Structure 1
Amino acid sequence: MMDARAMLQVVVFALVFTMLAKHQVWGETDCHHEKVSVMLKCKNSIKIGGPYVRPRPGDKCGTTVQASDMSCVCRVLTEHDEKTVDPKRLVKVAGRCGKPVRVGSDCGSWTVEQPPSSSRGHP
């Protein structure tokens, strides 16, 4: 029969293994499928280079963005994703579709900045 010390070691090992094997951080949602969907449905608006294509209300891109947690999508944007996706455009699309990403949060390797003031010389 196992003594208390050996039993405790087994329990601690199992606990550590479970914590390390868990893909998703506790308390954080998994939005990989949302990211893939946004990248597919909004590719013309968020691609690197070329003219920006503004999403229209009710189109596939807009409805996908509205149904997605865009802060999470930005958080899980990888360096590999950024070979085809412009994080600044992704944030712009999110804002235009009513799902703004908070200033100061990360979108891939880019930190979301305060948009420029629209006052242009007005007091």
Structure 2
Amino acid sequence: MFMLSLLVTRSSSSQVNAPCTPMQVSEDYDYCDDSLLLGPPWVPPLKVCCDSIRMNKMKCICQGVTKRVLQYYDANKLLKLSQACGNLLAPGSYCGVYKVPGGN
């Protein structure tokens, strides 16, 4: 039982540290698109969005956050998305070029 638990923990933690492929970044944006679009009001994320970004703690979404991407997506909605899916972003950390409010 301990060995199984150890294997599950190791595979989960290695997923977080693994680099995101362009496909993973694209999938996360596809799943979470409605919640991040610039302009329309905030829309709570779909379950598939939260499930996907929880697997890598928003690493793949954040990898795609550039100044160019922020022409289409609302940076402030990144924090709302994080909160809606389980507070995945630490205060004061960076999600691409976006600095999460709080922290030092």
* Structure 2: gaps spanning 5 or more residues: 1-16
Aligned equivalents of 1:98 and 1:88: distance in 2?
16
1:36-75 alignment to 2 at 5 Å? Answer: 36-56=26-46, 59-71=47-59, 73-75=61-63
Aligned equivalents of 2:48 and 2:94: distance in 1?
25
Give the match for residue 12 of structure 2.
none
* Structure 1: gaps spanning 5 or more residues: 1-27, 115-123
Cα RMSD (Å) of the superposition? 2.4
In the alignment, residue 44 of structure 2 is paired with which amino acid? R
TM-score, scaled to structure 2:
0.65
Q: Which contiguous aligned blocks of 4+ residues in structure 1 show a shift greater than 4 angstroms?
A: none
Q: Deviations over 1:19-68 (max 9, x none)?
A: xxxxxxxxx64224432222111111011111110125xx2212222223
Q: Does the 8 Å CA contact 2:25/2:63 hold for their aligned counterparts?
A: no
Q: What is the aligned length?
A: 86
TM-score, scaled to structure 1:
0.57
> Identity of counterpart residues, as a percentage?
26
